[in-house]
Structure 1
């Protein structure tokens, strides 16, 4: 009997890991700990090699099954992120974003690195982002080092600053329920795009009001996107929400993650020294993703992200031709 159940601990641990991976959203979200588990989900894959070592030691078919179950579950969930999309040609739009860090000691160096990425649209969070103290202004040491081709800038900075190579239509507006946000229609050579630049509230597990504020802002942003009939939308910024967080599902119901469609890995962005989670995102509607990547570390505590996008043909486009 003991021989039959040899490796039972390994099998039970592997089964529990697989259940957590597949059913994490079913767990209660007490004080945001459900969100925390969601955010750490990719790292549960580290259990697989540990279980494999234990299974080799036990030399048991039951233990081997206990390794295969979470390995297959993890592979199904996260494997597609490592399958590169094969799309050729130049992009219609290059979008770059970084949370530059309010305490950044060398903003000119950060601006220089972002300029080297050659964006058509640049979004920067935490750039003098207290409108009460800083009057919503942008540090000239940062702005002067950006590409002069980014001629158009949203006129104020409520914690999220935007530059564009192309003009925007009308005055940018805030998203109701999201204080650090602006959205506007940008008129590009390929057609209009509704750009939403956002910096959502911080994520702090255990502090119920902080988690509640972040989650409420995700819901408000998702509601604004659902109400927007535009065929082409870009949402970009520091969402303080991991791609695996259950709240992200509210946004990906109607938008696609550029990082996940590009197939270039997990693309973690925070903390910059050793990224463990992707908090910064480019989400789209009506675009093909040619490339999405995390840029090399600069002075900030977040890595910058880049997405190369191509306009996808819509039915209306075909009718207009």
Structure 2
């Protein structure tokens, strides 16, 4: 995206779901996709980057560290409340994220329910000085 402050790279991602099976959690497919996404973000040349999407993991999930190590959570830095997004009927975890690098969130929040089983998320960001 061309902005008055220079380029802004925007990534939209929907990582595979984590499922519970008799053998335990199935995270392999999600983690494989996460690795590819993290590699793409590492090679991104833009100084300002926004990643939005259903990452099927909270920012406390160790598997998301390749992203959260280099990017700030809009909800964690500027959100009010817990910002839970899943399941929409009674949210208990935030697995839908807005992660930022080179920009900062001025506010972040969860939006009202839609027909999805997740609540949508939103944030206002500042491109900096």
Q: Do Structure 1 and Structure 2 share a fold, with TM-score over 0.5?
A: yes
Three-state SS of the structure 2 residue aligned to 1:291 is strand
RMSD of equivalent CA atoms: 1.7
Structure 1 runs of 4+ with >4 Å offset: none
Say whether 1:196 aligns with 2:11: yes
Which segments of 5 or more consecutive residues in structure 2 lack a partner in the other structure?
none
Q: Which has the higher contact order (CA 8 A, sep 6+)?
A: 2
- State the TM-score, normalized to the length of structure 1: 0.38
Aligned residues of 2:18 and 2:25 also touching (Cα < 8 A):
no
Q: 1:225-255: CA deviations, max 9, x gaps?
A: 1122321001111111122111111101111
**Structure 1 residue 224, shift from structure 2 partner:** 1.4
Q: Distance in 1 between matches of 2:11 and 2:122?
A: 16
1:190-269 mapped onto 2 (5 Å cutoff): 190-206=5-21, 210-269=26-85
**Structure showing the higher helix proportion among its residues:** 1
Q: Distance in 2 between matches of 1:292 and 1:265?
A: 10
Structure-2 change in CA distance of 1:190 and 1:238 (3 Å) = same
**Structure 1 residue 189, shift from structure 2 partner:** 3.4
- Bigger Cα Rg: 1
- Number of residues of Structure 1 aligned to a counterpart in Structure 2: 128
Structure-2 change in CA distance of 1:278 and 1:209 (3 Å) = closer
**Structure 1 residue 199, shift from structure 2 partner:** 0.5
- State the TM-score, normalized to the length of structure 2: 0.90
Q: Distance in 2 between matches of 1:188 and 1:295?
A: 26
Which segments of 5 or more consecutive residues in structure 1 lack a partner in the other structure?
1-185, 314-321
